[in-house]
Amino acid sequence: MRRFIFITLLALFAATIQPASASDIVAIVEASEGNTGDVQLFDMLEVGREIEIGAGGRLVLGYLRSCWRETIAGGKVTIGAEQSTVKLGRIFRELVECDGGSLQLSAALSDRSGAMVYRAPPGEDASAPPQVILFSLTPAFRVSGATGDVTIERLDGDAPALTVAIQRGTADMAKTALRLMPGGHYRASAGAARVTFAIDALAEDEGGSLIGRIVFLNP
């Protein structure tokens, strides 16, 4: 019942979000297999981007604001504001749990100056609302302008700090043995960047869709 109500609310939210412009980043690549051109895991995609998927190619996209997750096989893909258009290919689309609308993204600046920012600044303790809600026990961090480790500190209880190594700009907790707690309130930091986030109280899964567990860390 909870999932049905949540998905219904997500659908209503998706219908009310502001239209994206041609310069907006709206999706992230969750998987790229076979002939998908130069598109790779964790790539950010802007409105209007066109992708040719060759025979046997498969692409999984997550839309950050509308919470649609798409599995696409073959064809020509055009990135839209809330979902893709596919010609001469097959697409399976599902609505997943994600904190849609928590980000302000700009394609023109995202990779060069870290313009992927959350709508609210990070709080210093558990009394401040988290900037983003995650629906997995294993967050994935996309990091710009920092190397080394992502440090994760719990804000609402005593727990040792955790570290996840950054590899090629990402740090995925699902690839480690580390797990966070349902309902926990955390702060992640890498270099000068920091973000606060909370794990949904009913989260049970490890891994899962990137759009339900992604955290952006930018200076």
Sign, CA torsion 140/134/120/124 = negative
pLDDT category of residue 127 using cuts at 50, 70 and 90: confident
The pLDDT value recorded for residue 100 is 83
Strands 162-165 and 149-154: antiparallel
133 three-state secondary structure = strand
- Whether 61 has a pLDDT exceeding 50, the answer reads yes
Sheet strand arrangement including 170-172: 170-172, 140-143, 214-217
* Mean pLDDT for the chain overall: 84
The pLDDT value recorded for residue 105 is 55
Share of the chain above pLDDT 70, in %: 82
Q: Where are the beta strands (DSSP E) in the chain?
A: 25-33, 44-46, 50-63, 68-78, 85-87, 90-95, 103-104, 117-118, 132-134, 140-143, 149-154, 162-165, 170-172, 185-190, 193-199, 214-217
In terms of Cβ atoms closer than 10 Å to its own Cβ (0-12, 13-18, 19+), residue 89 is middle
**Residue 152: what are its φ and ψ, rounded to 5°?**
-120, 120
pLDDT 10s digits, 154-178? 999 889 999 999 998 999 999 999 9
What is the Cα–Cα distance from 90 to 72, expressed in whole angstroms?
Answer: 6
Residue 123: name the closest of 185, 173, 171 by CA.
185
pLDDT category of residue 113 using cuts at 50, 70 and 90: very low
The pLDDT value recorded for residue 116 is 62
**Of residues 119 and 199, more confidently modeled:** 199
Are the C-beta atoms of 141 and 190 separated by less than 8 Å? Answer: yes
- Whether 114 has a pLDDT exceeding 60, the answer reads no
What is the Cα–Cα distance from 96 to 28, expressed in whole angstroms?
Answer: 14
The whole model's pTM is what?
0.81
Domain spans, the chain: 2-95, 114-217
* Position 72, amino acid: I
CATH class of 114-217: mainly beta
